[in-house]
Amino acid sequence: MTIADRQARTISSTIIRILRPLIRVILRNGMSFNAFSSIAKQVYVSVAMQEFGIPGKKQTISRVSILSGLSRKEVQWVMSQGDPASAEEAPYERYNRAARVIAGWVRDRDFLDSAGHPMALGQEDGNVNFNLLVKRYSGDMPSRAVLDELLRVGAVERLEDGRIRLLSRAYIPRSSDLDKLEILGTDVSDLIYTIDHNLQHGAADPFFQRKVMYDNLPVEVIGAFRALAAEPAQAMLEKMDQWLSQHDRDVNPSVKGAGRMRAGIGIYYFEENLEQKPREN
């Protein structure tokens, strides 16, 4: 078997492992193969057009056709539908703004009670209120829009006296599978970007990418491991959030420096019953 054959076999196996859980989600939500195929074509063309051009030359439909394996006619049709990247921004922005407000509420001493817990806040009454929280951690987003979002996903509740109480220390929508699907798009893409970076530049400039896993554990220990993993993971994320917020211009406009970078760190838990289904290759 040649190196090219081994590479093709490895990438095929990798794609299958990625697609199995993704297709499970897609089928559960009623998307047909034709719809999935149409989206895949759009992304193929978008990535080939934007990222795989020849330096110093304008990217062409013919080259995109060669790279993607699509006909020139298909490429032209896809390009006439517009850039699919525009559909990514609204869910990401909503997720990012809401998550920042919750993080500020959890760690900013101005919004904590004497025991260190997030206070229930009036929307605009008093020196410390929800409007101030949003202004401090969500830039120019209207506080009403942020409140509506947090109420919609079940992250906060409004008390009888009109104050707003935080129900979750993280942006984890409870009320809508659609919101959770949007998080799927954000978090999985971040992980794949990290892996891709390490494949291309890992020797010289590695991104941190680690996990710990054992595959012969008794059922009885799983609950204890979930609890063991959750508390320090949450504490570390809150610590990283505090550091990043001090250097983010939206939260701290006095920060100086060039460019605009996006950076963060994610933690995820996983488990699988290997006796209920065959191993996925």
pLDDT in tens, the chain (281 residues): 788 888 889 999 999 999 999 999 889 888 899 889 998 999 999 999 999 999 999 999 999 999 999 999 999 998 888 766 555 555 566 667 788 899 889 988 899 999 989 999 999 888 899 999 998 888 777 888 889 889 887 889 999 999 999 998 877 766 556 667 777 778 888 999 999 999 999 899 999 999 999 999 999 999 999 999 999 998 999 899 889 988 998 888 889 999 999 999 999 999 999 887 655 54
Taking Cα atoms as reference points, which of 118, 152, 154, 117 lies closest to residue 137?
A: 118
* Helices first, then strands: H and E counts in the chain: 9, 2
Angle between helices 3-28 and 177-201 (to 10 degrees): 170
In sequence order, the β-bridge partners of residue 165 are 157
Taking Cα atoms as reference points, which of 184, 136, 234, 230 lies closest to residue 22?
A: 184
Taking Cα atoms as reference points, which of 101, 264, 74 lies closest to residue 186?
A: 264
State whether residue 281 is helix, strand or coil: coil
> What CA–CA distance (Å, rounded) separates 255 from 272?
44
Other Cβ atoms less than 10 A from the Cβ of 4: the count is: 8
Taking Cα atoms as reference points, which of 245, 122, 238, 123 lies closest to residue 170?
A: 238
Looking at residue 176, what is its pLDDT? 57
State whether residue 166 is helix, strand or coil: strand
Domain spans of the chain, in order of start: 89-166
Looking at residue 137, what is its pLDDT? 87
CATH pick for 89-166 out of 1.10.3470, 4.10.860, 1.10.10, 1.10.8 = 1.10.10
pTM of the model: 0.67
> What CA–CA distance (Å, rounded) separates 154 from 4?
50
Looking at residue 83, what is its pLDDT? 67
- Secondary structure of 241-262 in the HEC alphabet? HHHHHHCCCCCCCCCCCCCCCC
Structure tokens at 232: 């320090």
Looking at residue 260, what is its pLDDT? 93
In sequence order, the β-bridge partners of residue 166 are 156
Looking at residue 181, what is its pLDDT? 75
Q: What is the largest CA-CA distance in the chain?
A: 73
In sequence order, the β-bridge partners of residue 118 are 112
> What CA–CA distance (Å, rounded) separates 23 from 31?
9
Structure tokens at 275: 């006796």
Looking at residue 91, what is its pLDDT? 57
